[in-house]
Amino acid sequence: MHVVTLTVIAIAAGVASLAGCRDQGTTPPPGARPIPSVTGIPSTETQMRARLERATRLVALALADPPARAYVYEQLHASPYREHKLHFGPFLEQPGNPLSAQIAAEGGLTEVGLQALLDSLIDLEFYMPVKDHYALDWRP
């Protein structure tokens, strides 16, 4: 349940962020709207969605590892936020984080490669939804 919930939340956060980025001006062709990453790397919506899908898949695969899953669960519950959220990039950048190691292993990434992936994404949060969030429609 937790693996699915976290994976869905990661996808929903990315898709909701992309949907929320739309401005009221002229609309570029589908998938061509520029979206800056958390570090300012420009990319198209299509490129960002592909990176988010890849990151989400890697997180889901990494959460199959019991020590990584236990670490994430512990850290989510220790979060001071009501939703028990963690900021995705900074969380994965913590030294010794077993989830980071598993994501890198699943994706065949070096530490530099994992950092490049994180740098290329929009700002994301990991969280365990509160009861009211289950009723929300996450589709864009």
- Average pLDDT score, the chain: 81
Where is mean pLDDT largest: 35-39, 77-81, 100-104, 129-133?
100-104
Both tokens of 10, joined, read: 């990661």
Q: Which amino acid is at 123?
A: D
Q: What is the mean pLDDT of the segment spanning 47-52?
A: 93
Average confidence (pLDDT) over 13-37? 62
Tokens 């994976």 map to which residue?
Answer: 7
Beta-bridge partner residues of 34 = 44
Q: Is the pTM of this model over 0.85?
A: no
4 pLDDT exceeds 50? no
2-20 vs 66-78: helix axis angle to the nearest 10?
60
Task: Give the max Cα distance, the chain.
Answer: 48
Instruction: Render pLDDT for 87-110 as a digit per residue (tens, 0 to 9).
Output: 999 999 999 999 999 999 999 999
